[in-house]
Amino acid sequence: MIVDQLRAIVGEAHALTGDAIEPRYLTDAAGGRSGKPALLVRPADTAQLADVVANCARAGRAIAIQGGRTGMCHGATPQDDEIILSLERLNRIEGIDAKAGTMIVGAGVILQSAQEAAAEAGWRLAVDIGARGSCTIGGMIATNAGGHQVMRQGMMRDQVLGLEVVLADGTVLSSMNQMLKNNAGYDLKHLFIGSEGTLGIVTRAVLRLRPPAIGRQTALCGLLDYDAVIAMLNRVGRALPGQVSAFELMWRDFFEAAGAIAAGGMPFAVSYDYQILIEVEAADDAPFVGILSELLDAGIVADAIIAQSDREVAQLWSLRDAIGPLVGSMTIVEPFDVSAPIARIGPLVTHLRAALLDAIPRCRPYFFGHIADGNLHLALDLPTDADRTVAEALVYNAVRDAAGSVSAEHGIGLLKRGWLGHSRTVEEIALMRTLRRTMDPAGVLNPGRVVETLTPGR
Amino acid sequence: MIVDQLRAIVGEAHALTGDAIEPRYLTDAAGGRSGKPALLVRPADTAQLADVVANCARAGRAIAIQGGRTGMCHGATPQDDEIILSLERLNRIEGIDAKAGTMIVGAGVILQSAQEAAAEAGWRLAVDIGARGSCTIGGMIATNAGGHQVMRQGMMRDQVLGLEVVLADGTVLSSMNQMLKNNAGYDLKHLFIGSEGTLGIVTRAVLRLRPPAIGRQTALCGLLDYDAVIAMLNRVGRALPGQVSAFELMWRDFFEAAGAIAAGGMPFAVSYDYQILIEVEAADDAPFVGILSELLDAGIVADAIIAQSDREVAQLWSLRDAIGPLVGSMTIVEPFDVSAPIARIGPLVTHLRAALLDAIPRCRPYFFGHIADGNLHLALDLPTDADRTVAEALVYNAVRDAAGSVSAEHGIGLLKRGWLGHSRTVEEIALMRTLRRTMDPAGVLNPGRVVETLTPGR
């Protein structure tokens, strides 16, 4: 019956069942684990979407909300009997205010389309992640996506001025604020940013735009110890405030593997325990070159290559981006995305490498990260699937002991729910559950994601 | 009985009644309107505070939460029979992590003390408001304070990494995150930032620090029309990205009144319809001077004075800061703090000036604001107290029609509650009430502030 109701709302062509549901709707970037969904619906607009949700709430039917399905934690992966709700048709760029630097977009707009539209209007949408060609603005808001530019421009949360959200009972909540400052009561948008669709479905957004880059300098530096990494971060942050746009740390294990497969090959004659790929946005490169030579003179940086052309910039970035092919070559990959206070990350990695090799002798760990944000990535190549359990416990226990987070960027979804208590207190999780229960008493929105729901939809 | 219970928790010296409650506890910066509080308690730490709240919740007694009482909306002003809960003794600066650029402070720490401690450690706490000598970090978080630096560093929300909060039943919620990135479940701190104590009492915070200024250039510019203001804002924002730290607009009415009383006198030979006080943080002043002369050549800026010494900087700022003495000289002051999309502010002011003078012929409006944030201030000198009602309706109706906010920085408190519906939708206010009811069912925390509570404490 619910199938007929929803079909009547969105039309035959956009209410699909069984084999008519293409495989791409059945998983996310983490792969696997799909159940058998009851239905796929693709509403044309907010009104249809709200109607779909209201009907699901009345029928007590669980919804799996989908943007671009580029998540890493099975948040969008449909489970048995769930109704897939795809936002792909809410893909209109409604307008850009070139005076104020704001844009209004539907949740289904692809990041790259939004970036290009902003650029055409003389502005920049300052979040960027590898999945830009397929991830959606709505999904990025729901998961508070991060990426390369966070240290300078913040996460997705910092790009959102206003939202339109469909609540669990089908109510359309319009909170399309366009101002940087609005202290008129609670700032409700923050409830929906990063809560992975469990408190409401983002359907439209007002985004803040930033001016385009006025120039860019890129360098690769080799450093001998982690204290030098912190010293360099603080020195460039102070000398070039608001201008450092990337500060990517690659530990030796990652860097040597990357150098072996990257287009540009290995740039240094030797490799160092720490490599930093740094990018600065400034009109003039003299201050950046000055700081680098000062850091070399002080012995903080042992070696440095400043890119002299777009080709050299691409070569340096190909090392960092080698994570793609590197992961592709692995037997069994466990991609960790954690964070910790910056000063603790160096010792954490040293400990983890030793502990992992001790517990799983044939594993191969590769460490890298957006270190200015306290964000550590570990791509772990495992000999057998059974090693996952050992590795996860080992990594997440160490992260907990370092007062870190088991999820820096990727969210919790279904995959990391068991580890939430490692980074959040009992009281925090209790309050998350209270909010979840209050705002979605029937448990229809992405049930089981983030925190378990006590009254899940059928 | 509750008085005895609370006295037993905090001790005789910090549980005061009747005339022992000094007058400063009875109002805020907006003045007036105090009721007769039942008791003042000053807990020594989070444990005592949680115990106080738990007892009040059990007894159904309303609490008026107080930081530095520098608010403008009677949020902290005690009403009849309320128990004043002052956080002044939670005033410890617990530590600064100079590597990561973070600090941990008690909610009762005075802003200026925190700023000075950060500076001593080689960092900067990048929020600054006029009340820095008496406002507290907890109050600034609860009200999401703004100020001069917002366009560059964000509001108080953007300085907060983690919080400790006492909930309405006395539960201590520890969410003392230290990382820039943490997507492990809901980011609960945003519930408490800007909700004016109605969802929980902030007791401690982890704050993000920024590097100190590496140099500062200040100029005053005269402009002929509002389009030029926007053109200048966009031009300097693009040419000096991340470096413009203040962009204060003063309309002619404000500027002429300020020039008549400011220490430095009137700097231009004539005054313009629009004056901009701009401040840039950069090591070298050449790019700033270059942009200004380009703007002069293009006719966007009609006149400009670049400060050549600290004395001249102080002179220029004395014009903007003349708002203090200006307000002091007024008969009856109505201080408006609103926001609107930037492009609409020029027409909004033109409309408001005419409409106010038409409705209240003897009033005198002075317009100024943090225009880059869309934040407009209006200090309105009124002939009689009865004119307030007319003025408020006129201003807030116009702000609503411009899709603006009735409170950019100051919050809602008790004073602006009647106007909340001008800037928030019915659905938004309903959700605020739901959150309020869920998180404080007994209505003990700042009852009546922001949204009315259905079950207020006695």
Name the DSSP class of B210: B
Write the CA distances from B97 to A344, B126, B191, B400, integer angstroms: 11, 16, 26, 44
B175 phi and psi, to 5 degrees?
-140, 55
Asked if the Cβ–Cβ distance from B174 to A427 is below 8 Å, we say: yes
CB atoms within 10 A of CB B158: 17
- Mean of the per-residue pLDDT values of chain A: 95
Say if the Cβ atoms of B416 and A184 lie within 8 Å: yes
Q: Nearest-CA residue of chain B relative to A242?
A: B242
The shortest CB-CB distance from A143 to any of B181, B183, B341 is to B183
pLDDT over 90 for what percent of chain B?
Answer: 91
Closest chain B residue to the Cα of A178, Cα to Cα: B341
Window 357-376 of A: residues touching B by CB (8 A cutoff) are 370, 372-375
**Is B102 in Cβ contact with A341 (below 8 Å)?**
yes
What token pair was written down for A212? 């385009």
**Torsions phi, psi for A173 (to 5 deg):** -100, 110
Q: Spell out which residues of chain A touch residue B421, defining contact as CB-CB under 8 Å.
A: none
pLDDT tens per residue across span A232-266: 999 999 999 989 999 999 999 999 999 999 887 88
| Nearest chain B residue (CA) to A186 | B195
By C-alpha distance, the chain B residue nearest A174 is B425
In the prediction, which pLDDT does B103 show?
98
Query: What per-residue confidence (pLDDT) applies to B47?
Result: 98
How many Å apart are CA A207 and CA A160, to the nearest integer? 5
Q: What is the DSSP letter of B94?
A: E
Q: Does the pLDDT of residue B238 top 50, yes or no?
A: yes
Span A189-199, average pLDDT: 98
Query: Is the model's pLDDT at B450 over the cut of 90?
Result: yes
Cβ of residue A290 closer than 8 Å to a chain B Cβ: no
Residues of B in contact with A428 (CB under 8 A): 173-175, 185, 188
Note the helical H segments in B206-341: 226-239, 252-261, 286-297, 310-320, 323-328
Q: Which of the residue ranges A181-195, B21-35, B279-293, B396-410 would you say has the lowest mean pLDDT?
A: B21-35
Residue A454's pLDDT band (cuts 50, 70, 90): low
Q: Provide the β-strand partners of residue A300.
A: none
> Comparing A217-323 with A330-422, is the CATH topology the same?
yes
> What DSSP line would sit under A80-132, residue for residue?
TTPEEEE-TT---EEEEETTTTEEEEETT-BHHHHHHHHHHTT-B-----TTT
Mean pLDDT of B99-123: 97
Q: What pLDDT shows up at residue A31?
A: 84
Helix axes A46-59, A2-10, angle to 10 degrees: 170
The neighbour count for residue B328, using CB atoms within 10 Å, is 9
Whether A153 and chain B come into contact, CB under 8 Å, resolves to no
pLDDT bin (cut points 50, 70, 90) of residue B331 is confident
**Confidence class of residue A431 from pLDDT cuts 50, 70 and 90?**
very high
pLDDT of residue A452: 82
Q: How many degrees, rounded to 5, is the angle at CA A202 between CA A197 and CA A206?
A: 140
What are the tens digits of pLDDT across the range B392-432? 999 999 999 999 999 999 999 999 999 999 999 999 999 99
Closest-CA residue to A76 (of A143, A149, A151, A150): A143
B213 CA: distance to closest CA in chain A (Å): 8
The encoded tokens of residue B238 equal: 């693009």
CB B242 within 8 A of CB B280: no
Task: Tell me the one-letter amino acid at A321.
Answer: D
Taking only the tens place, the pLDDT of each residue in A73-111 is: 999 999 999 999 999 999 999 999 999 999 999 999 999
- B452 — pLDDT class (breaks 50, 70, 90): confident
pLDDT score for B454: 57
Q: ipTM of this model?
A: 0.96
Query: Hey, where are the domains in chain B?
Result: 2-88, 93-208, 217-323, 330-422
Query: Under 8 Å CB-to-CB from A442, ≥6 apart: which residues?
Result: A57, A60, A168, A455, A457
Is residue A156 within 8 A of residue A221, CB to CB? The reply is: no
Q: Which CATH number fits domain A2-88: 3.30.1380.10, 3.90.1300.10, 3.40.640.10, 3.30.43.10?
A: 3.30.43.10
pLDDT of residue A456: 44
- Inter-chain CB proximity B435 and A434 less than 8 Å: no
Alpha-carbon span A425 to B175, nearest angstrom: 7
Is the CB of residue B127 less than 8 Å from the CB of residue B105? no
Mean pLDDT of chain B: 95
Contact A107, A87 (CB under 8 A): yes
CATH fold of A330-422, please?
Answer: Alpha-Beta Plaits (3.30.70)
Would you state the pLDDT for residue A458? Answer: 37
Nearest by Cα to A449 from A426, A438, A433, A434: A433
Window 7-26 of B, Cβ < 8 Å to A: none
What angle do the packed helices B387-401 and B342-359 form, to 10 degrees?
Answer: 150
What sign does the dihedral B367-B369-B374-B375 (CA atoms) show? negative
The amino acid at residue A186 is Y
Chain B closest CA to A335's CA: distance in Å?
16
Among partner residues A184, A406, A439, which is closest to B407 by beta-carbon distance? A184
A-chain CB neighbours of B241 within 8 Å are: 210-211, 213-214, 242-243, 281
pLDDT-based confidence at residue A135 (cuts at 50, 70, 90): very high
**Alpha helix ranges (H) inside B36-136:** 46-59, 111-120
Sheet holding B63-66, edge to edge: B15-16, B39-41, B83-86, B63-66
**Which of A260-274, B244-258, B359-373 is the least confident region?**
A260-274
Report pLDDT for A457.
42
User: Which of B40-54, B115-129, B169-183, B444-458 has the lowest average pLDDT?
Assistant: B444-458
- Secondary-structure percent of chain A, ordered helix, strand, coil, rounded to 5: 35, 20, 40
CATH architecture of B93-208: 2-Layer Sandwich (3.30)
Residue of A nearest to B421 (CA): A184
d(CA A351, CA A371): 17
Q: What is the pLDDT at residue A1?
A: 86
Of A150, A174, A424, which is closest to B181 when you measure between CB atoms? A150
Pick the CATH number of A217-323 from 3.40.190.10, 2.40.37.10, 3.40.50.150, 3.30.70.2190: 3.30.70.2190
Nearest-Cα residue of chain A relative to residue B230: A99
* Structure confidence at residue B220 (pLDDT): 98
What pLDDT was estimated at residue B458? 37
Q: Which residues of B fall within a CB distance of 8 Å from A150?
A: 180-181
- Asked if residue B248 lies in contact with residue B308, where contact means CB atoms within 8 angstroms, the answer is no
Residue B264 above 90 pLDDT?
no
What is the per-residue pLDDT for A148? 79
The yes-or-no verdict on residue B283 having pLDDT over 70 is yes
Q: Tell me if B41 sits within 8 A of B85, measured CB to CB.
A: yes
Concatenate the DSSP letters of all residues of A222-236 into one string. Answer: EESSHHHHHHHHHHH
State the pLDDT at residue B457.
42
The separation between the first and the last C-alpha atoms of chain B, rounded to the nearest angstrom, is 14
Q: Is B211 on the interface with A (CB under 8 A)?
A: yes
- Which is nearest to B230 in space by CA: A218, A99, A438? A99
